[in-house]
Structure 1
């Protein structure tokens, strides 16, 4: 681990995602100084004792150039040892890697490699190129092509999308028509759309950290219980050497530098794991941390130019949960206050699927401030269980990218040369 006697000053460029919130806990527990910038004054990270200072910034989605200038000005006015992107800011920072590298330590691959796996279509083509397993996949660009390509049941995905955005489960003609209506309304056929056969099985995720194409840390977990939108409410660590090998091939081929995660489905009728999605970042790293694999520490080291010794394999059977996701999932499925109260009781008593499980998103015993968003979520759901879907949709915040902002970042004249006074640093 990094020498605790020399704490680092770490800037986390968003505080709204579950991944950022968990990374902050791990960095804070290691004794490092953490500051956060986010377009939302009430993001999850505001409710953590580990955050020393919060900076209110422009939105990545609405003003990527302003967001970049804000970060650059912050780095110029204060000293930070590491810039730690935990979500889609990595796309922007990879594009501006040269100018950021002179100001702060940062672990990201070159922009071409990042673009390859940031879009679902690019990742699918990469899997084909490397001969790695994925569900049968077709890439289309129109409603007619989609109608011809779909086979029930299927999953339809926009090439760009995160936080469960741009995904439709199509089991019949009615589902297909609804997906088509949504895609055409959002003009998603301006880009590429994927159609994948829906494979019955268990959803798993694998996370890794690379140093110039060399795998240094790996962890995998499977979904024990789903929350709202299909995300993990309860997860458990597993050993997946086959997936590790696949990630090693991907990372070596791309010369990957930094964090890389993949989503996997383990088919019920086959032992071959199928890769279904890629995230060029660490996704919710606390389960790995509890299982003895501190991927955040390795990422900090790699950011600072170190080449740490590869980590040993994680402990298997380590169970963790996200209480907020579990409550939202319970409300969306059961829709009753009694069901929410029962779920709270099981979590508090450690019963059923929660037996032996540790809270990872709002670890109240480690960070008392995290009780605030958890309590607010519980109270809102008890007041109106039907609000669960609306609360979950709130996860699509200004810290995320959309097609327009991606095109702006990819343009030849990005970032604009003319300074924008509106992006001056603003603290609450």
Structure 2
């Protein structure tokens, strides 16, 4: 089959492209960003640049459908937030090409953190207590309803955008007001959530076909970026069964289709699993599943073309690494480590052991260098050390 993989400047798209090529498929990659990571991969057969799905959603859909026709694309494999737009326009897109994304209503149910919270409470699934920031005229009153540590986050968003941990020792007003100014969004979009003391953090992935559970997968976040909690930069596959029934309880009820990643933490004192949030798309650690021999791309293709997807199995204790993300977190990890020698030795060991990285493969080396080049370019362009997205959604998917 000929497959179109979107969001080609991401390591997730790169991992998917390599896995599809290994299975013998013809892979076309695309993004709205010039010189995207996958454009340099020798595993792709063709590439193109499309209009931004954020600033020109109609142009994006029209261009994709045009390329589907001219390039004879069989299946579109969306990777990041363009998945949201393809879900929203699903009925239109599916007339022309295979696609495995959920309907838009269940999509928003799990993506909007406030809607998700209501659904979890209704089904008695453990999740951190969540409140609207707009309901507080004095932010110090948060301490009365949520004593201890809290986290502020947008109702929609991913990739650690907008995540803020105010220090409960100090005045919340003095911390939250500057945060809102920097975030520059409507306060109605911001939630305040109870922080759960964490023993382990997990990614639990479910795959559904027309409301029927097909497969799940899980890994432990050995290290995140940032360390306080975020994207997994060092991961180890594990048994998914402690989370399976919890996730199924939710996704069975809403009739899911396609894949989704559910983030869990186990409570440091009780060991109970708490559902934190859901990413209804390809997740950052997809290479963890691929490397552990789970045919996740094959299952996606079967679902996209209407063929019955069959469950598989994967190896546990397989470690994978987002190399450049792990490099970014190294200073924080080093400074917080009790043994500086041990921290440095751990990183050096990862360079020589069998831990697979998301980016670098000996038979496809060039994409590895694209990510730091883009990061340095954005830092220079924006005159800051915090790289920002080339384009992003200023509002919300609704």
Output the TM-score relative to the length of structure 1: 0.81
- 1:60 correspondence with 2:53: yes
Could you report, residue by residue, the CA deviation over 1:88-140 in whole angstroms, capped at 9, with x for unpaired residues?
11211111111101100001221111111121112111111221111222234
Could you report, residue by residue, the CA deviation over 1:389-411 in whole angstroms, capped at 9, with x for unpaired residues?
956633x332x43315x3xxx4x
In structure 1, list runs of 5 or more residues that go unmatched: 1-7, 351-355, 411-428
CA distance in 1, matches of 2:219, 2:187: 35
- 1:195 correspondence with 2:178: no
Provide the aligned length of Structure 1 versus Structure 2.
383
TM-align CA RMSD? 3.0
- 1:393 correspondence with 2:387: yes
- 1:235 aligned partner: 235
> Which deviates more, 270-279 or 133-142?
133-142
- 1:217 aligned partner: 215
CA distance in 2, matches of 1:348, 1:317: 18
- 2:352 aligned partner: 349
Judge conservation of contact 1:214–1:248 (CA < 8 Å) in 2.
no
Judge conservation of contact 2:140–2:171 (CA < 8 Å) in 1.
no
Distance 1:176 1:279, change over 3 A: farther
- 1:25 correspondence with 2:26: no
- 2:114 aligned partner: 121
- 1:168 correspondence with 2:164: yes
- 1:9 aligned partner: 2
Output the TM-score relative to the length of structure 2: 0.87
Distance 1:257 1:391, change over 3 A: farther
Q: Per-residue deviation at 1:42?
A: 2.4
Judge conservation of contact 1:142–1:189 (CA < 8 Å) in 2.
no
CA distance in 1, matches of 2:360, 2:269: 37
Judge conservation of contact 1:327–1:344 (CA < 8 Å) in 2.
no
- 1:47 correspondence with 2:40: yes
CA distance in 2, matches of 1:367, 1:220: 27
Could you report, residue by residue, the CA deviation over 1:225-253 in whole angstroms, capped at 9, with x for unpaired residues?
22347322210011131311122122211
Q: Per-residue deviation at 1:216?
A: 1.1
CA distance in 1, matches of 2:386, 2:97: 34
- 2:394 aligned partner: 402
Matches within 5 A, 1:339-378: 345-350=348-353, 356-359=354-357, 361-373=358-370
Judge conservation of contact 2:139–2:176 (CA < 8 Å) in 1.
no
CA distance in 2, matches of 1:107, 1:13: 14
Judge conservation of contact 1:291–1:316 (CA < 8 Å) in 2.
yes
Q: Provide the secondary structure at the position in 2 that maps to 1:204.
A: strand
